[in-house]
Amino acid sequence: MDVKWASRIAGLPPYLFAEIDAKKNEMIKKGVEVIDLGVGDPDIPTPDFIIEALKVGAEDPENHRYPSYQGMRSFRVAVADWYKERFNVDLDPDTEVIALIGSKEGIAHAPLAFIDPGDVGLFADPGYPVYPTSISFAGGEPYGVPILKENDFLPDLNAIPEDIRKRAQLIFLNYPNNPTTAVAEEEFFKDVVDFASKNNILICHDAAYTEIAFDGYSPLSFLQADGAKDVGIEFHSLSKTFNMTGWRIAFAVGNKKAIAGIGKIKTNIDSGAFQAVQYAGIVALQNYKSGLQDRIQIFQERRDIFCKGLDEAGLKYHFPKATFYVWFEVPEGLTSKEFSSKLLSESGIVVTPGNGFGEYGEGYARVSTTFSTERIIQAVERLKETKF
Ligand SMILES: *Cc1c(COP(=O)(O)O)cnc(C)c1O
Q: Is residue 284's pLDDT more than 70?
A: yes
Low-confidence winner among 15-24, 137-146, 150-159, 375-384 (lowest mean pLDDT): 15-24
Query: How does DSSP assign 145-210, residue by residue?
Result: EEB-GGGTT-B-GGGS-HHHHHHEEEEEEESS-TTT-----HHHHHHHHHHHHHHT-EEEEE-TTT
Q: Is residue 13's pLDDT more than 80?
A: no
Q: Is residue 328's pLDDT more than 70?
A: yes
Low-confidence winner among 29-33, 110-114, 132-136, 313-317 (lowest mean pLDDT): 29-33
Alpha carbon of 107 to ligand 1 centroid (Å) = 9
Alpha carbon of 252 to ligand 1 centroid (Å) = 12
pTM of the model: 0.97
CB neighbourhood size of 265 (10 A): 18
Which DSSP symbol is given to 321? S
Residue nearest ligand 1's atom 15 by CA: 178
Report d(CA 156, CA 23) in Å as an integer.
37
Cβ-based neighbours of 385, under 8 Å, separated by 6 or more: 347
Q: What is the pLDDT of residue 21?
A: 85
102 CB less than 6 Å from ligand 1?
Answer: yes
pLDDT digits (tens, 9 = 90+) for 103-153: 999 999 999 999 999 999 999 999 999 999 999 999 999 999 999 999 999
How do strand 317-318 and strand 325-329 relate by DSSP bridges?
Answer: antiparallel
pLDDT digits (tens, 9 = 90+) for 76-91: 999 999 999 999 999 9
Averaged confidence pLDDT in the chain? 96
Nearest to 189 by CA among 134, 149, 231: 231
Atom of ligand 1 nearest to the CA of 174: 13
Q: What is the pLDDT of residue 271?
A: 92
103 CB less than 6 Å from ligand 1?
Answer: yes
What kind of fold does domain 48-286 have according to CATH? Aspartate Aminotransferase; domain 2 (3.40.640)
Domain extent listing, the chain: 13-42+291-385, 48-286
Instruction: State the CATH class of domain 13-42+291-385.
Output: alpha beta
178 CB less than 6 Å from ligand 1?
Answer: yes
Q: What is the pLDDT of residue 16?
A: 65
Cis before 67? omega within 30: no
- Choose the residue to mutate in 206, 234, 247 for probing ligand 1, maximizing ligand atoms within 8 Å of C-beta: 206
Cis before 176? omega within 30: yes
pLDDT digits (tens, 9 = 90+) for 207-253: 999 999 999 999 999 999 999 999 999 999 999 999 999 999 999 99
